Structure 1
Amino acid sequence: MLEVHLPHLPLSLLLRPAGYCSVLAVILLLLVRQYLVRKVRSPLPPGPKTSWYGGAALPKAYPWRTYAEWQRLYGDIIYIHAVGNPILVLNSRKAIYDLLETRSAIYSSRPRRTMTRELMGWDWLFSSMPYGSAWRKRRALFQKYFHPRASPRYEPVQIKEAHTLLRNLADSPDKFSHHIRRSAAAVVMMVSYGHQVAQEGDYFVTIADHALTGLALAGNFGTYLVDYIPILKYVPAWMPGAGFRRQADVWRKSTHAMVEKPFELVQQQLASGTARPSLASEELEEWTRSGQDPEQAVLIKDVAAISYAAGADTTVSAILSFFLAMSLYPDVQRRVQEQLDKVTGSQRLPLFSDRSALPIIDCVVSECLRWNPVTPLSLPHFTVEDDVYEGYWVPKGTTVLPNVWKLLHDPAMYPDPMTFNPDRFADSKTNVELGINEEPLAAFGFGRRICPGRYLAMDTIWITIVSVLSVYNISKPLDKDGVAIEPDIEPTSSFLSRPKPFQCWVTPRSKAALSLIKESEDEQP
């Protein structure tokens, strides 16, 4: 689409017949100039043809797989003109790292997302903010609490909630999915707000889950027409065809509550002297001492909320993938437990201090993140200026989608990629030669926008997996005839992807294991 910038012309001139001719002449000259400029500019990358209305339809279901298939037609980079929203899909490791890492100054911003940010109220989420001062302030505060050296601070709560998960699985193993979500939420809610999550029906977890459900459904660009045509956000909610507005209003209430309610709780606890140590309480205490700048209070509130939004879903998706994989690959489970038994036996539950003696657990964590990445298309990047890559022009204002699923399922890097195989991460020397990360950091983003909470997430996943495997066996359920019920291994197609609901049996490995589960209740790590 050509952009024409008219010079300033007096209104009196425009109202004259000669003025009209002058304006038309200027427009014609500008159009000719831009046409000639474009003729000498590098070509756009290849991609699907646009339709009669000037755009290409984006795939709705599992778009990352469609983009991976398109690689055979168009190559490693694919340009899609989606009704005024140019999109560049990156399908190769080289393209992703060349642009998002090496040229991060151009590719580190975020695109406008009318449905999620403007209508659903996710404008506070700094992971989707444009690159700039507001984003830098929030990221700096977040990193203050979630850098690698801060990790040991959170180990006690991570161990405590892993042990709570073990006891919950003993009481109601059929509700494993609920228990996993509760455990993940409990860690981040304690770290962010000092809030102890209730066993059943926690109010703050419920409102956050409602908000995140909306984000998962609406997060893929193009799900709603308003993402293509932002002016539609002004359509009244009562009009026919404005169902997206009504749905956005419902989700917006949950999004607002997710940010405000737990923050208000911490403020009340500080006033009464009952607040536990947390990101929110410590920063609010400092805020009170330093003069109570209103802008700083908003920043604290936003960063505390994103700790839950960013941490819970990645952790839950990876742990659900672990349960699914163990039911599908009993040989893997057996080999992991053999190494585990040599370290802890049946005398105690594992601790973080055992990590160096249990390298296979880190391999399992990495494979869970690779096998079913929670954000298959990552978070979109956005170009802030024109660029040329491999002879192709990448216009300013292009949304860039790194195909994480394709990267982590590339058979050249990960042979037999659909198979769950932790051994692929076992030989660090081979990994370096192949360019494989010892942990699949691609699951956490790229460049300046890589997730700063990845250390907390990786540690939570690790202690959960090692704790569960030390005392439980996970297997496929059997029907009334003793035949194994095969789970649906297809993940969801939403922006935040995870395994679809499935069944599995979670049974104690032995009487000694059952005793360890019961004994954990009185432990204070």
Structure 2
Amino acid sequence: MQSPSVSVLLADLSIFFLVLFALAWFLPRTWLASVAVRRPLPPGPPTGWFGNFSLPSSYQWLHYAKWKELYGDIIYVYVLGNPIIVVNSAQVAEELFERRSKIYSSRPIRTMVVELMGWDWLFSSMPYGKRWKQHRLLFRRHFHRMLTSEYHSILTKETYTTLRNLAHTPDDFAHHLRRTAAAIVMRISYGHEVSDKGDIYVTLADEAMQGLGTAGIFGTFLVDYLPFLKYVPAYMPGANFKRQALIWRKKTRAMIDQPFQAVRERMENGTAIPCFAQKELEKLQQDPNPNSDYETTIKNVAGISYAAGADTTVSTLLSFVLAMLVHPEVQKRAQQELDDVLAMDRLPTFADRSQMPFIDCIVWECLRWNPVLPMGLARLVSSDDEYNGYFIPNGTSVLPNVWAILHDPDVYPDPLIFSPERFSDQKRNRELGINTLPWPAFGFGRRMCPGRWLAYESVWFSIACILSVYSIERGIDENGLEIVPEVVYTSSMISRPKPFKCRFIPRSERADQLIKGTAS
């Protein structure tokens, strides 16, 4: 056990080195900021010597959207040595992320999430470069747009499970939707069958994702602004972020390591189920000159399939359920379209999609109405640039305000209203320059979500199947009155509706038979 004098000495040394790190961090950035001031920066809130200390801590997308009224489509903020730009319009996003993708496709290293919590394997957050390209290439090999049909049988099986679960315990609809989203990804990535009631790997992933959702928005922790704080010993007062990061790191590693190890073990004993990890590991074993790092790449890509897919899909589906309660007329129109095609004689299939355009409109509006990633994922400017006369310095973090882009009233009239009809006539929309399909919900340019095709089809099929056999009704309170849910979303990185009550009622006796028939 250390004596008090040794402990005091260690604390003094820690403080001494932190002061040195602080000087080394601030002085060059303050000098660079003073140089940048000589060239006009984008407008933004008042900034002091060390920056602006009044950044919004929650619902950043709503605050930045209000700032748009004061400062415009592109906003500059300087916080503790960190130059930040917020993009509030599709026009600016297209110019920077699409036309200038060469210098706007990298990611800033987020100290809390990547270095302390261990999410360095998440290739959606990797800096642009060779390592990122290797991961994305492997992912696209299995999740390309032309390959999604290979997974239709898995989507069908797990969605049918959802229909049965909703019949048995409709109050647990959020759990059932989450279970299905997780089951689809776990089956595709690891060949793992998720049980109806619970699953150890899904639990591990959910616990890890909770930490990512809390820490994922830039600036949630001071160490995001001051990376040298990562050297603060976990035992020091005020270092709770370091202690919390250690807890989250264990969950992050368990999420990525344990299901992958299970695939390897099943391959060794001959019980492996065909899946992404199994196919790639077999290729690696047959390679006469294997790349020693490639197995790690396989493990990382398998992990991101869950991290990027399950939470985003279930959030979109929860938005769908909430929208049906708030706008029952939309549900009636969708069910009429389904009945015209299916005649309540069977469940929908992917082959029916071309005959059900309104279901597509619902999916697009769910993606737009309250986007799952309202602040997108930050970019890093890799060299000095200029936009519209404004100087954008190298090393600036660029935050795309996806929520503001998809709620621009000039592009989406009455943007707060859930209105799938806005997408029903794309030819007219193009002529008027309104209601463009909300692709920004999946990101931009070279960093656009590569799994968007599978995600879209998964959501489409779930919505079509649920509406074909269920009526989604409002909950009833103790007085027998309908409960009209509030449209309220969480402020985390992955935003979703806050808990609400509803009922799933089979539409008819025939619908009940179709639900039961999914078990065969």
Which protein shows a greater Rg? Answer: 1
How does 1:87-102 map onto structure 2 within 5 Å? 87-102=84-99
How does 1:59-458 map onto structure 2 within 5 Å? 59-291=56-288, 292-435=290-433, 439-458=437-456
Q: Percent identity?
A: 55
Contact in 1 for aligned 2:412/2:435 (Cα 8 Å) = no
Which residue identity is paired with 1:433? E
1:312 Cα deviation from its structure 2 partner:
0.5
1:236 Cα deviation from its structure 2 partner:
1.3
Change (3 A) 1:144 1:492: same
Which residue identity is paired with 2:91? K
1:92 Cα deviation from its structure 2 partner:
1.0
Which residue identity is paired with 1:257? A
1:294 Cα deviation from its structure 2 partner:
2.3
1:516 Cα deviation from its structure 2 partner:
0.2
Mapped partners of 1:289, 1:224: distance in 2: 45
Mapped partners of 1:37, 1:116: distance in 2: 31
- TM-score scaled to structure 2, two decimals? 0.92
Mapped partners of 2:87, 2:472: distance in 1: 37
Mapped partners of 2:215, 2:405: distance in 1: 23
Contact in 1 for aligned 2:213/2:494 (Cα 8 Å) = yes
Contact in 1 for aligned 2:51/2:77 (Cα 8 Å) = no
Match of 1:400, SS state, is: strand
1:88 Cα deviation from its structure 2 partner:
0.4
Mapped partners of 1:51, 1:164: distance in 2: 56
Aligned length, in residue pairs: 491
How does 1:497-508 map onto structure 2 within 5 Å? 497-508=495-506
Contact in 2 for aligned 1:87/1:398 (Cα 8 Å) = yes
Change (3 A) 1:36 1:163: closer
Match of 1:393, SS state, is: strand
Task: After superposition, give the CA deviation of every residue in 1:414-467 in whole Å (9 maximum; x if it has no partner).
Answer: 111111110011111123235557642111100100000001100100000000
Which residue identity is paired with 2:212? L
Match of 2:263, SS state, is: helix
Mapped partners of 1:236, 1:78: distance in 2: 36
Mapped partners of 2:271, 2:417: distance in 1: 49
Q: Which residue of 2 aligns with 1:459?
A: 457
Mapped partners of 1:262, 1:172: distance in 2: 28
Mapped partners of 2:160, 2:135: distance in 1: 32
How does 1:17-96 map onto structure 2 within 5 Å? 42-51=39-48, 53-96=50-93
Which residue identity is paired with 1:427? D
Change (3 A) 1:38 1:505: closer
Contact in 2 for aligned 1:237/1:243 (Cα 8 Å) = yes
Query: Which residue of 461, 475, 478 maps to 1:477?
Result: 475
Change (3 A) 1:391 1:200: same
Match of 2:486, SS state, is: coil
Which residue identity is paired with 1:518? K
Mapped partners of 1:92, 1:113: distance in 2: 24
Match of 2:472, SS state, is: strand
Change (3 A) 1:501 1:36: closer
Contact in 2 for aligned 1:375/1:497 (Cα 8 Å) = yes
Task: After superposition, give the CA deviation of every residue in 1:253-283 in whole Å (9 maximum; x if it has no partner).
Answer: 1110111001001001111111111110000
Which residue identity is paired with 1:106? I
Change (3 A) 1:386 1:346: same
Structure 1 residue runs without a partner (length 5+): 1-29
Contact in 2 for aligned 1:48/1:56 (Cα 8 Å) = no
1:313 Cα deviation from its structure 2 partner:
1.2
Which residue identity is paired with 2:182? A
Mapped partners of 2:457, 2:89: distance in 1: 28
Contact in 2 for aligned 1:42/1:391 (Cα 8 Å) = no
Mapped partners of 2:415, 2:374: distance in 1: 14
Cα RMSD (Å): 1.7
Mapped partners of 1:85, 1:69: distance in 2: 22
1:54 Cα deviation from its structure 2 partner:
3.2
Which residue identity is paired with 1:64? W
Match of 1:123, SS state, is: coil
Mapped partners of 1:278, 1:473: distance in 2: 35
Mapped partners of 2:32, 2:337: distance in 1: 66
- TM-score scaled to structure 1, two decimals? 0.91
Mapped partners of 2:376, 2:34: distance in 1: 37
